[in-house]
């Protein structure tokens, strides 16, 4: 039997110790000869075909070394929940600026960037959102992802570095609440979306919404149709966990009025 050589010599996966990073650590190995793993957290021993380079993305010199010899980047690093501005700034803003400058200096041509549906969290649940609509972030975390999408656009326009920004919804083994019946993205659909973003020949600067084929939709993904992504899973498989009731939330409840859910009221203000 002829063994197929992986398409890439070396891929970098940041945030490899996180929830989605652990999934991609296993599932992305067939795509590359060497998978370089990065996080500030413990990653355990390197397995076959892996390299481990722990560093803080806020350390510019370390990030430049991290990108040496890399073909493409799967950027899933940073803070993924709402928090005070300063740690988000260090990880998601300064860290991303360091990453893209290193991508540019090392001559890397594509980044798959884990953005978030929280860049449009203040859209009401009655509105269908597409990739060209104005950003409406729902907190400091969402703001940092808006910065990431704008930064990646700049590096495409200025230097031709392609990026697919994945506005990921709720990626877990199963929906955890009724809201996630709309925002759910299965692990298998995540992997397929990343694969499509990585292997499509020309992507320019693309924004794709990371959701499975759920019965209710808040987002319109047709402007990323060139990626060829077709979700196979649906939150409907878990519908029995959240039966219909006639107990509607108050009309002025922001967590159910807006697509960002609890994030729209979770954001801390600057401490006095």
Q: Are 118 and 169 in contact (CB under 8 A)?
A: no
Concerning whether 141 is annotated as a catalytic residue, the answer is: yes
pLDDT of residue 268: 65
Q: How many CB atoms lie within 10 A of CB 192?
A: 19
Coil, helix or strand at residue 75: strand
Asked if 260 contacts 145 with a C-beta cutoff of 8 angstroms, the reply is: no
In order along its 272 residues, the chain shows pLDDT tens digits of 455 789 999 999 999 999 999 999 999 999 999 999 999 999 999 999 999 999 999 999 999 999 999 999 999 999 999 999 999 999 999 999 999 999 999 999 999 999 999 999 999 999 999 999 999 999 999 999 999 999 999 999 999 999 999 999 999 999 999 999 999 999 999 999 999 999 999 999 999 999 999 999 999 999 999 999 999 999 999 999 999 888 888 888 988 999 999 999 986 655 54
Catalytic residue among 141, 155, 156, 258: 141
Q: Which residues have CB under 8 Å from 239's CB, separation 6+?
A: 181, 215
Q: What is the CA radius of gyration of the chain?
A: 19
- Which CATH number applies to 8-266? 3.40.50.720
β-pairing verdict for 8-14 and 72-75: parallel
- Give residue 1's pLDDT: 47
Query: Using CA atoms, how far apart are residues 218 and 130, in angstroms rounded to an integer?
Result: 9
What are the tokens at 92? 């998601």
Residues in Cβ contact with 152 at an 8 Å cutoff, skipping those fewer than 6 apart:
100, 111, 113, 161, 163, 165, 205
The predicted structure's pLDDT at residue 271 = 53
pTM for the whole structure? 0.95
| pLDDT at residue 272, rounded to an integer | 47
> What sign does the CA torsion over 170, 131, 108, 2 have?
positive
Question: Rounded to 5 degrees, what are φ and ψ at 163?
Answer: -140, 140
Give the chain's length.
272
């Amino acid at each position: 039997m002829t063994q197929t050589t992986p398409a890439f010599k070396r891929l970098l996966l940041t945030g490899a110790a996180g929830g989605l990073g652990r999934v991609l650590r296993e599932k992305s190995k067939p795509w590359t000869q060497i998978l370089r793993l990065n996080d500030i957290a413990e990653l355990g021993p390197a397995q076959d075909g892996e390299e481990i380079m722990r560093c803080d993305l806020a350390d510019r010199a370390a990030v430049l070394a991290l990108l040496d010899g890399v073909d493409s980047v799967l950027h899933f690093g940073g803070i993924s929940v709402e928090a005070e501005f300063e740690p988000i700034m260090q990880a998601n803003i300064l860290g991303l600026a360091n990453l893209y400058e290193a991508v540019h200096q090392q001559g890397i041509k594509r980044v798959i960037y884990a953005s978030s549906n929280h860049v449009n969290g203040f859209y009401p649940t009655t509105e269908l959102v597409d990739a060209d609509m104005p950003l409406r972030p729902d907190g400091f975390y969402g703001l940092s992802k808006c910065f990431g999408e704008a930064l990646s656009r700049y590096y495409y326009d200025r230097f031709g570095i392609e990026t697919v920004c994945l506005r990921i919804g709720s990626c877990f083994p199963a929906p955890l609440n009724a809201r996630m019946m709309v925002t759910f993205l299965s692990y298998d659909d995540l992997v397929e979306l990343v694969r499509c973003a990585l292997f499509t020949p020309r992507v320019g600067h693309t924004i794709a919404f990371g959701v499975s084929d759920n019965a209710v939709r808040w987002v319109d993904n047709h402007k990323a149709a060139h990626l060829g992504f077709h979700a196979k899973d649906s939150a409907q498989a878990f519908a029995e966990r959240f039966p219909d009731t006639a107990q509607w939330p108050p009309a002025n409840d922001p967590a159910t009025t807006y697509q960002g859910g609890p994030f729209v009221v979770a954001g801390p203000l600057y401490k006095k």
